[in-house]
């Protein structure tokens, strides 16, 4: 019996002529089944806020929610090709990077965008993060 080897998406952190990426990959190529995960918020399984005023706690909860959503679709963080961060203050990005590092090693970073927004759906939310993944067919 032959086991299939799952190689996942190909990442290109520094295309020729483009400044090297430091916290993301410029290009991620993949083929397979697309998995879109809606923006996740720092809510626990009961819909309660985790980490009021604490960007590190909120980021950990958001990445845990992303992990669970990906798993429900038969995916994991190695399949993620794009993350989009919506933050109320760019000063929260180091906490987000720390939480991300617990799930994604530096050699598996997806394409990414980070946007500072005036507000999220509730004022106590400091961030919302969405993901796109591609699971091999």
Stretches in the chain below the pLDDT threshold 70: 1-7
Can you list the domains of the chain with their CATH numbers? 28-135 (3.30.1330.40)
Which position has the token pair 């794009």?
82
What pLDDT is stored for residue 6 in this prediction? Answer: 57
CB-based burial, 64-91: b 16+ in 10 Å, e otherwise: bbbbebbeeeebebbbbbbbbbbbbeee
What pLDDT is stored for residue 14 in this prediction? Answer: 78
What pLDDT is stored for residue 8 in this prediction? Answer: 74
Distance CA 10, CA 109 (A): 10
What pLDDT is stored for residue 24 in this prediction? Answer: 86
Which contiguous run of DSSP H or E holds residue 34? strand 33-40
């Amino acid at each position: 019996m032959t086991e299939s080897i799952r190689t996942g998406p190909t990442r290109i952190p520094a295309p020729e002529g483009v400044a090297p990426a430091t916290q993301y990959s410029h290009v991620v190529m993949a083929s397979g089944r697309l998995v879109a995960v809606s923006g996740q918020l720092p809510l626990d399984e009961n819909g309660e806020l985790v980490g009021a005023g604490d960007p590190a706690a909120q980021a950990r909860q958001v990445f845990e929610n992303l992990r669970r959503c990906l798993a429900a679709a038969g995916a994991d963080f190695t399949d993620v090709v794009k993350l989009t961060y919506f933050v109320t203050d760019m000063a929260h990005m180091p906490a987000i990077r720390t939480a991300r590092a617990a799930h994604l090693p530096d050699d598996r970073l997806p394409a990414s965008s980070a946007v500072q927004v005036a507000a999220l759906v509730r004022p106590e939310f400091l961030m919302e993060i969405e993901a796109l993944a591609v699971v091999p067919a």
